[in-house]
Amino acid sequence: MEAEADHTLKLRRALDHLQWLSDYEREWFRGDSHHSVRVTQTELDLGGLRGPYGFPLYQFEAWVRAEPPPTYPFALVIGECLHNMRSALDLLAYELAVANVYPQPVSEDVKEASEFPIIGDESAKGIPGMGAGIFRDNALPRKIRGVNPSAHAPIEAVQPYIDGTAFREHPLWRLHQLDRISKHRLLHTVVAFVEDAGFSLTRSKNFSGAAYPTPYPGIVHNERETKVASIGGGPMWDEEMVVVIKPTLSVCFAPDTPDADTAPVVPLLADVYRYITDNVLPWLEALL
């Protein structure tokens, strides 16, 4: 059996962490232990206009309180997931350098400088349009100088600066930034976020109205209720009316997180993972 490459193992570890985060998020918001939904009902004053069954029309609003998943261990696992993905790329760059000189050993200076470059389109002083120059002057002669020149183009093709001013939304840039922060500065704090809202057909009774609630995506807090969705309608017959709105809760990076402000955690990390497996590995593993 062929041994798996180090970068593959690191990616697998990242995937384990990602799966854990996804499961934990789902469990956290399952049931109502960590969040509550209250639906208010207000009769609409439509100047005598009534619903299709002759009953008054109402506006239903869903208000949510939610605890974010605890920093420990959620934020820690985010950091480890990021770090393992970043390490996988660095290991890949090193493996390319090893393959390039095999069976000779890699020189010490190539070893020391080896790193998978992730370059945005700004200089350290914030001057835009500098990415290509930084790649040429920094990455090529230093970080990936030990790799075969045929790998230069595939590595350049996945650089965030290729996206120009939109480089901050590039999956690898987000990986680079978020990992750097988690490693050296701060833990990534997370908040509960409502992305969407649905209407429970099985638990609602005697309701006729809009098919879907209108969601108000945003952060929800534990200290105060936040309106997350609304739906209009009225009863079909003269009995108690029950309207159950089900918000879709997820975990997002806290506001002001650089380049991931309120971005949902699991989809963002999954996006980075997929980008690496779909856009980086196929081109570069062929050179190993």
Partner 1 sequence: MFPLPLPSWRYKVRRAKEHLEALDHAVKWFTETGAYKRRHEFQAEPPKYLFVVESVSPVPLQIPLMVGDYVGNLRAALDHMWTAVLDHLDLPVTNRTQFPIFQREPKGKDGLRVWSQQIGGVPGNIETIVKGLQPYKRGKDAVAHPLFYLNELVRRDKHRELSLMVVRSSGPVIDGREMLVRPPLKRLEPGTVLHEIGQAEILASGMTDPNVAVNFYDMPEIGFEKPAAVEGLEVVTTLRLVGLEVAKVLDTLAPFYEPHAPYRDWMKKGDATPGF
Query: Footprint of partner 1 on this chain (CB under 8 A)?
Result: 4, 6, 9-10, 12-13, 71-73, 75-76, 79-80, 83-84, 86-87, 90-91, 94, 111, 114-115, 124, 180, 182-187, 189, 191, 254, 256-257
Distance CA 53, CA 209 (A): 11
16 vs 163 by CB, closer to partner 1: 16
CB of residue 91 to partner 1, shortest distance in Å: 7
62 vs 93 by CB, closer to partner 1: 93
Q: Following DSSP, what letter does each residue of 11-27 receive, concatenated?
A: HHHHHHHHHHHHHHHHH
Q: What is the three-class DSSP state of 136?
A: helix
7 vs 35 by CB, closer to partner 1: 7
124 vs 201 by CB, closer to partner 1: 124
CB of residue 42 to partner 1, shortest distance in Å: 33
Token couple for 41:
């009902």
CB of residue 203 to partner 1, shortest distance in Å: 33
CB of residue 134 to partner 1, shortest distance in Å: 13
Report the candidate in 13, 279, 4, 1 with the shortest Cα–Cα distance to residue 155. Answer: 279
82 vs 241 by CB, closer to partner 1: 82
In the chain, which ranges are continuous DSSP H helix? 6-29, 71-101, 108-113, 131-134, 152-157, 171-184, 265-275, 281-284
CB of residue 192 to partner 1, shortest distance in Å: 12
Q: Following DSSP, what letter does each residue of 231-249 receive, concatenated?
A: EEEE-SSSS--B--EEEEE
CB 244 within 8 A of CB 283: no
